[in-house]
Structure 1
Amino acid sequence: MVKAAYVHIPFCEQICHYCDFNKFLLEGQPVDDYLEAMDLEMKRLVHQKAPEPIETIYIGGGTPTALNGEQLKKMLDSVKENLAPIHPDVEFTVEANPSVTDRKKLDILKNAGVNRLSIGVQAFQDDLLVALNRNHRQKDVWKMIEQAKSAGFENISIDLMFGLPGQTLEMFKQSVQHALQLQVPHISAYSLQVEKQTVFYIKDKKGQLSLPGEDHESEMFEYLIDTLKSNGFSQYEISNFGKKGYESRHNLVYWKNEEYYGIGAGAHGYINNQRYENNKPLPHYIKKVNEGDLPQRLVNELTRSEQMEEEVYLGLRKMEGVNKSVFHQKYGIQIEQIFHDQINKLVKEELLINDEGHIRLTQKGLFLGNEVFQEFVGVI
């Protein structure tokens, strides 16, 4: 059953030095042609597999709010029309950048039914923001949060990053404290991953990237967990913290290994046990759609073994872990019958807890998540 949709807007006014998502500088791009192509793609996707009432919509990028007001409204209207029926209690999220999201755009979002904002803050030190090649500054964050609340948004999430070049523990502590002062109900925090095809990757190869190191990064993560917990946030997933009732329902779709539409250039989707990736270059994406096809570049039909492996390593990202009963209902077999050796090994290493109802990470396992997940890949 498809109850979720991710929509990708790949345009940015400035390219961040760490970002490896599919994105293009906005100026000179065929934005209107792209929005028309997305409209057609959505029509074909829902014809291929009709949705249940859609419960979560997430519009990401890129920078969705880099679109002008008319384009933004057109895109939102297209999403609502094509993805109907939409559940009356839908979680409707749009990523927003403080530098390009003014009150007029916030009103457009609110009037279109958007009820959750995800704001890319990353840090509260202007020199760090410059190093990341972000085009907002600390003052822009405070202004946007104030405007968003004034426009009627209550469900607001901000993103932070740690392990950044030149970032000290004290700087990260300061960012966390500023985030708390904003009084938003959800905070996501991610460690920097130096990815290929980014400016940081090139600098790292040249020895020009001064990173804090794993020990300092762990200290930042530990401070984050302790501080947010003491301020009423629940860590419901490795990188995500929410006040009660404000957990990201869309991201939980991914971690519960459920189906979702992926719409737009470079978007990923999961339908009928098939994971797919759309064409990334804009001309290829638009051309493919205009020829009457779905713009899917890669389609991988998961075997039953791959589905079970994904169920485990995605589910372990949640603090509640993998529900044994749900696993049995989905696959008709007990999880211990498939992954007995892996589970026992990780329990002995104090990285997993195996109780009556769930398998989940220990506190130690939180800091070594990737190593834990790797144990469940390619073992069946």
Structure 2
Amino acid sequence: MTPVSTSSLRDFLASNRFAAYAYSYPHKTAYQSFPPVSLRDVWEQERRDALFAYLHVPFCEMRCGFCNLFTRIERDDEQHSRFLDALERQLKAVSSSLVPASFARMAVGGGTPTILSPVNLNRLFDIAETYLGASPKNIPCSVETSPATATIERLSLLKERGVSRVSMGVQSFIPSETRAMGRPQQEQELFAALNASRECNFPIWNLDFIYGLPEQTIESWLFSLKKALEWQPNEIFLYPLYIRPLTGLGKRGAKRGTTQLDLYRAGRDFLRANGFKQMSMRMFARHDGAGGGAPLYCCQSDGMIGLGAGARSYTSHLHYSTEYAVASTGVQAILDDYMNTSEADFALASYGFWLNEDERKRRFLIQSLLNSEGLDFDFYEREFGSEPQREWPLDELCELELATEENGVLRLTDAGMERSDELGPFFASDAVRAQMEGFTLR
């Protein structure tokens, strides 16, 4: 294992602030091509009794200025239908490679899945149930929406299908701020979508907000959050603004504000004071989660099946996906390849990242530590047969007052949680960093 020196942790934190969002490890820009392997072989030795099914719909009605996700502007129903044809071929191939398998969670993201017509939305859920046996009526299911597509017809369909969580990116209630983000929205459309979402009364309703614009103040930031609480969501995500290459903001040379940390703290304190519990740097909730009786899913040890162009799949030793791009030409080329892929080729993986023992430990550490549940030493030892305290600079985290240990669980303090976007990148291996730096974004 590559050692991590305690002095390097101090140095790294001293020179980095809001470095990168470590929502998964390794990052998709560390992926590379490798000789094709069959999915049957990839999954043969894996646990398949509590999988996560993720379906990625790579279409939006507009491209937000801050967005670097795998998506493109596409409103044409015919193109959506072609995509679903390919998705059905992929589902056939994947399902035959996984037998037997059962699912504990399901999510539909993108892109904006609710850009699909009601007919195509129904088809999406039908093919997932037909080939995977995954239905929102039986397991918790989340769907991403947008103000422009969250119509009462579509949301009612999601409710009828059993969807338990919907998420909408509001970003700000101040029009000048959403315009500055490259995400203009009509107030009438936004409020209609919020009304429709509230009327459908999903068990979990999430709203997303972004902070870090140069002109954003604590007063304007809290105005948006106060406005959000008037709608009574039971989950709110607070995202720091990142200016990434090839995005709309990146291409025009936009800059982040200098008060991002102050905005984060103000938002965190406000939500806590209003009954929200902090689950991670970004997630705040005042609900109990998926609900009683739902199958358990553990992100550190259970697998994920990604379906659709841009989706990633996770096994214990291999992460794989289609290729990744941000610019419209690159996304379209990958999407064209996906929609022309045969069922036989969908049964193979040839692009991704093989995780050795060291990388698996790093992934476990990052996913545990950046969550409010923290790093359970016994859980780590059961997984790897070693003690995390002997392998990572965890004492240094405590000395810096970024974490505390209680009953064998290490949890970040407030000071540590606000450094999540530095701690995640810090624990990345040299090999992953090198591959990320060598990635050519298109």
TM superposition score normalised by structure 2: 0.78
**Counterparts in 2 of 1:333 and 1:210: CA distance versus 1, 3 Å:** closer
C-alpha displacement of 1:152 = 3.8
State the alpha-carbon separation in 2 of the partners of residues 248 and 223 from structure 1: 30
C-alpha displacement of 1:247 = 6.9
Match of 2:311 in 1: 267
C-alpha displacement of 1:88 = 5.8
Paired residue total = 371
Match of 1:211 in 2: 256
Match of 2:64 among 6, 11, 16: 16
Q: Which amino acid is 2:351 matched to? A: L
Match of 2:407 in 1: 356
C-alpha displacement of 1:40 = 1.7
CA contact (8 A) 1:95 1:118 kept: yes
State the alpha-carbon separation in 2 of the partners of residues 247 and 239 from structure 1: 18
State the alpha-carbon separation in 2 of the partners of residues 161 and 65 from structure 1: 21
Match of 2:268 in 1: 225
Provide Cα deviations, 1:157-196, integer angstroms capped at 9, x if missing partner: 1111110243222111111111111101100111011111
Q: Which has the higher contact order (CA 8 A, sep 6+)?
A: 2
State the alpha-carbon separation in 2 of the partners of residues 162 and 85 from structure 1: 36
Match of 2:104 in 1: 55
Q: Which amino acid is 2:263 matched to? A: M
Match of 1:343 among 389, 394, 397: 394
State the alpha-carbon separation in 1 of the partners of residues 180 and 291 from structure 2: 29
**Counterparts in 2 of 1:27 and 1:151: CA distance versus 1, 3 Å:** closer
State the alpha-carbon separation in 2 of the partners of residues 294 and 128 from structure 1: 45
Q: Which one is further off, 134-143 or 90-99?
A: 134-143
Match of 2:53 in 1: 5
Q: Which runs of 4+ in 1 moved over 6 A?
A: 247-250
State the alpha-carbon separation in 2 of the partners of residues 136 and 254 from structure 1: 37
Match of 2:178 in 1: 129
Match of 2:283 in 1: 240
2:151 matches 1:107: no
Match of 2:25 in 1: none
State the alpha-carbon separation in 2 of the partners of residues 108 and 295 from structure 1: 34
State the alpha-carbon separation in 1 of the partners of residues 300 and 168 from structure 2: 24
Matches within 5 A, 1:269-308: 269-280=313-324, 281-290=334-343, 292-294=345-347, 296-308=349-361
Unaligned runs of 5+ in 2: 1-46, 325-333, 432-442
CA contact (8 A) 1:289 1:295 kept: no
Match of 1:333 among 377, 386, 398: 386
Match of 1:182 in 2: 231
**Percentage of identical aligned residues:** 24
> What secondary structure, in the 3-state scheme, does the structure 2 residue paired with 1:288 have?
coil
Unaligned runs of 5+ in 1: none
Match of 2:417 among 361, 366, 371: 366
Q: Which one is further off, 362-371 or 117-126?
A: 362-371
C-alpha displacement of 1:148 = 2.2
State the alpha-carbon separation in 1 of the partners of residues 227 and 100 from structure 2: 40
> What secondary structure, in the 3-state scheme, does the structure 1 residue paired with 2:173 have?
coil
Match of 1:320 in 2: 373
C-alpha displacement of 1:41 = 1.2
State the alpha-carbon separation in 1 of the partners of residues 106 and 290 from structure 2: 14
State the alpha-carbon separation in 1 of the partners of residues 65 and 180 from structure 2: 8
C-alpha displacement of 1:271 = 2.1
2:117 matches 1:68: yes
CA contact (8 A) 1:257 1:315 kept: no
Q: Which one is further off, 70-79 or 48-57?
A: 48-57
Q: Which one is further off, 312-321 or 134-143?
A: 134-143
Q: Which one is further off, 136-145 or 51-60?
A: 136-145
**Counterparts in 2 of 1:135 and 1:66: CA distance versus 1, 3 Å:** farther
CA contact (8 A) 1:129 1:137 kept: no
Q: Which one is further off, 16-25 or 324-333?
A: 324-333
TM superposition score normalised by structure 1: 0.90
